[in-house]
Amino acid sequence: SYELTQPPSVSVSPGQTARITCSGDALPKKFAYWYQQKSGQAPVMVVYEDNKRPSGIPERFSGSSSGTVATLTITGAQVEDDADYYCYSTDSSGIHRVFGGGTKLTVL
Amino acid sequence: QVQLQESGPGLVKPSQTLSLTCTVSGDSINDSGSYWSWIRQPAGKRLEWIGRIYPTESTDYNPSLKSRVTISIDTSKSQFSLKLSSVTAADTAVYYCAREAYCTTTSCRFDYWGQGTLVTVSS
Does the beta carbon of A3 lie under 8 angstroms from any beta carbon of chain B?
Answer: no
Q: How far is A17 from chain B (nearest CA, A)?
A: 24
Q: Is A34 left (phi over 0), alpha (psi -120 to 50) or beta?
A: beta
Full 3-state SS string of B2-68 = CEEEEECCCEECCCCCEEEEEEEECCCCCCCCCEEEEEEECCCCCCEEEEEECCCCCEEECCCCHHH
- Flag if A88 and B110 touch (Cβ within 8 Å): yes
Select the highest-mean-pLDDT range: A70-79, A86-95, B29-38. A70-79
Chain B, 74-113: which have a CB under 8 Å from a chain A CB? 96, 102, 104, 106-107, 109-111, 113
Count of other CB atoms within 10 angstroms of residue A8: 8
What is the four-CA torsion angle of B6, B110, B112, B93, rounded to 10 degrees?
A: 30
For the segment A32-64, what is each residue's pLDDT rounded down to a tens digit?
Answer: 999 999 999 999 999 999 999 999 999 999 999
User: What is the percent of chain A with per-residue pLDDT over 70, rounded to a whole number?
Assistant: 100
Q: For chain A, give the mean pLDDT.
A: 96
Least CB–CB distance from B47: residue in A43, A94, A95: A43
Does the beta carbon of B62 lie under 8 angstroms from any beta carbon of chain A?
Answer: yes
- Flag if B110 and A45 touch (Cβ within 8 Å): yes
Q: How far is B116 from chain A (nearest CA, A)?
A: 7
Does the beta carbon of A38 lie under 8 angstroms from any beta carbon of chain B?
Answer: no
pLDDT band, very low/low/confident/very high, at B118 (cuts 50, 70, 90): very high
- Flag if B106 and A29 touch (Cβ within 8 Å): yes
For the segment B65-80, what is each residue's pLDDT rounded down to a tens digit?
Answer: 999 999 999 999 999 9
- Flag if B113 and A43 touch (Cβ within 8 Å): yes
For the segment B18-38, what is each residue's pLDDT rounded down to a tens digit?
Answer: 999 999 998 888 876 899 999
